[in-house]
């Protein structure tokens, strides 16, 4: 057999050859093809059909050489595989092999049990050939057990089925078995009649085989005549065919050359495309690297600016906090040493409270600014009333405003709903109102107002204070520029408040604008989206 990837089909051919040689009583050659099938089954255990079919034919081989125990064992192994695969047809065939083995061993009871099982299996899978054989086997068993009448009925069933499917070999055996049973019943005339019928089917089998042989001889004869004619024609056409072959070789060479040139052109073209693609990808990578470098440089510059601003802020904050804390510490130290009477301490309590407010406000702004730089603050917008928020901010700054007799007036008359973070808006308003108070003159007014336009709310804080020069206003407009100024009562600041206001307004999708003129006050306005 030549090499092939169709291992299962190859095994079927080998088994067919084995069966043919066993039928011809060439047992040695039949065993050789069985061994080749076993080799394939071991090389391809994933397809257990090969091993099952091997055991099926091995059981037949053992029966032919009268090794019944080996035949029983081989059949049982095949049955196990077929039943696991749900192949009832092949399982029934192997049960029939076991029945033959038990009949040869004259173990009729075991044979009868298996025969009943095969009859059920053949009925389930509608295997009429198997049913015909099983009925004949069962009749043989019952005949050996002296149940002749039952055996005759089963043989007749076998004859009916075998006639229906045209199994002449089984019919020959069935009529022969029926003849033997009539002899046992002491009915010689019926026995002779069945024996004659058996001979008829035997002659039919012989005629079929003889007819086949005659046809085969005719075919061989006609083939030989045709071969002679073809040989003569081939001699006449030898030169023409040689020329044709030479032409074909030349054409083939030209085609191969053209294909080779086409492949070469394709390779060159594809190589150029690959090179262009590689150059383009390299260019894109270089652009990406350059872009990343520029982004890193911008980040470095931003970090440097932020670091410088941080250093400056901490320097200012440290200086501004040291004064109030030292004053507070000195005042408390005098009071604890009884160097300051209770009345004197009460007289200085306003200054003490102002110092505490300065410290608290500075620390609060510092904490919020630090969190915003570390991305620790998250903006959580919701629907809020800007009038209530402005009232709350003004109320918290009442004490600071009262020292300068400044009136904080909220002119927002009714509820005005915006969509922003309430805590951040409250911090913005407190810082802006505090700045208005800080830079206002005594006995003046800080006014809070609001207008709506184009789905936005604009809130303004107007003071009548000292205002700013154009240079100061320009410095204040630079977002990363740290700017602070002394208030009308020499109040100091860190500059953090306006930085926080700008950042929080931006986080809430708004804008911050400042209008000011020296000696004429300041208007700071912020916009927020309406709810």
Residue 258 confidence class, pLDDT cut points 50, 70, 90: very high
In a domain, 266, yes or no: no
Residue range of the domain that includes 425: 374-529
Which of 204, 221, 238 marks a domain boundary?
Answer: 221
pLDDT at residue 4 in the model: 46
In a domain, 334, yes or no: no
In a domain, 71, yes or no: yes
- CATH code, domain with 497: 3.30.565.10
**Could you give the angle at which helices 27-43 and 48-64 cross, rounded to 10 degrees?**
160
CB 420 within 8 A of CB 388: no
In a domain, 122, yes or no: yes
pLDDT digits (tens, 9 = 90+) for 128-155: 888 888 888 888 888 888 888 888 998 8
pLDDT digits (tens, 9 = 90+) for 149-162: 888 998 898 899 88
Average pLDDT, the chain: 81
Mean pLDDT of 259-263: 91
Tell whether the model's pLDDT for residue 67 goes beyond 90. Answer: yes
Which of 188, 204, 221 marks a domain boundary?
Answer: 221
CB 370 within 8 A of CB 496: no
Alpha-carbon gap, residue 40 to 53, rounded angstroms: 12
In a domain, 486, yes or no: yes
In a domain, 244, yes or no: no
In a domain, 96, yes or no: yes
Return the number of other C-beta atoms located less than 10 Å from residue 340's C-beta: 17
DSSP-based three-state secondary structure for 417 = strand
pLDDT digits (tens, 9 = 90+) for 415-463: 899 999 999 999 999 999 999 999 898 999 999 999 999 899 999 999 9
User: How many domains does the chain contain in total?
Assistant: 2
- CATH code, domain with 66: 1.25.40.10
Phi then psi for 445, rounded to 5 degrees? Answer: -130, 140
pLDDT digits (tens, 9 = 90+) for 160-181: 988 888 888 888 888 888 888 8
In a domain, 252, yes or no: no
The pTM assigned to this predicted structure is 0.38
C-alpha angle 459/460/461, rounded to 5°?
A: 130
Which of 221, 242, 257 marks a domain boundary?
Answer: 221
């Amino acid at each position: 057999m030549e090499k092939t990837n169709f291992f299962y089909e190859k095994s079927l051919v080998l088994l067919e050859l084995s069966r043919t040689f066993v039928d011809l009583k060439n047992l040695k050659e039949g065993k050789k093809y069985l061994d080749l099938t076993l080799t394939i089954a071991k090389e391809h255990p994933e397809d257990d059909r090969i091993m099952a079919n091997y055991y099926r034919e091995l059981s037949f081989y053992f029966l032919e050489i009268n090794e019944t125990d080996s035949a029983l064992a081989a059949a049982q192994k095949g049955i196990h595989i077929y039943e696991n695969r749900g192949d009832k047809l092949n399982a029934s065939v192997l049960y029939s092999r076991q029945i033959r083995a038990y009949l040869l061993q004259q173990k009729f009871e075991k044979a009868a049990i298996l025969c009943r099982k095969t009859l059920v299996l053949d009925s389930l899978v509608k295997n009429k050939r198997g049913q015909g054989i099983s009925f004949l086997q069962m009749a043989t068993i019952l005949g050996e057990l002296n149940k002749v009448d039952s055996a005759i009925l089963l043989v007749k069933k076998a004859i009916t089925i075998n006639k229906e499917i045209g199994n002449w070999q089984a019919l020959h055996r069935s009529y022969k078995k029926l003849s033997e049973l009539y002899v046992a019943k002491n009915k010689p005339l019926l026995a002779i009649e069945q024996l004659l019928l058996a001979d008829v089917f035997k002659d039919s089998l012989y005629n079929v085989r003889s007819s086949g042989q005659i046809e085969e001889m005719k075919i061989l004869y006609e083939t030989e005549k045709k071969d002679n004619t073809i040989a003569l024609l081939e001699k006449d056409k030898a030169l023409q065919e040689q020329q044709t072959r030479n032409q074909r070789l030349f054409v083939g060479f030209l085609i191969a050359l053209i294909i080779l040139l086409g492949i070469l052109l394709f390779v060159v073209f594809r190589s150029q495309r690959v090179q262009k693609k590689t150059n383009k990808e390299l260019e894109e990578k270089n652009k990406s690297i350059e872009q990343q470098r520029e982004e890193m440089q911008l980040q470095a510059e931003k970090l440097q600016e932020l670091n410088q601003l941080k250093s400056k802020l901490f320097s200012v904050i440290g200086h501004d906090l040291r004064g109030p804390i030292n004053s507070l510490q000195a005042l408390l130290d005098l009071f604890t040493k009884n160097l300051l009477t209770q009345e004197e301490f009460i007289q200085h309590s306003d200054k003490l409270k102002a110092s505490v407010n300065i410290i608290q406000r500075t620390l609060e702004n510092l904490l919020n600014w630090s969190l915003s730089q570390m991305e620790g603050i998250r903006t959580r917008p919701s629907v809020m009333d800007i009038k209530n928020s402005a009232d709350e901010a003004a109320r918290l700054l009442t004490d600071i405003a009262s020292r300068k007799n400044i009136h904080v007036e909220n002119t927002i008359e009714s509820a005005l709903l915006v969509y922003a973070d309430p805590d951040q808006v409250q911090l913005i308003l407190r810082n802006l109102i505090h700045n208005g108070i800080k830079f206002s003159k005594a006995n003046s007014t800080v006014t809070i107002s609001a207008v709506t336009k184009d789905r936005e709310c604009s809130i303004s804080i107007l003071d009548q204070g000292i205002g700013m020069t154009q240079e100061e206003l320009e410095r204040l407009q630079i977002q990363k520029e740290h700017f602070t100024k002394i208030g009308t009562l020499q109040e100091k600041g860190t500059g953090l408040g306006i930085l926080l206001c700008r950042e929080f307004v931006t986080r809430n999708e708004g804008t911050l604008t400042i209008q000011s003129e020296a000696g004429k006050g300041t208007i700071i306005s912020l916009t927020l989206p309406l709810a």
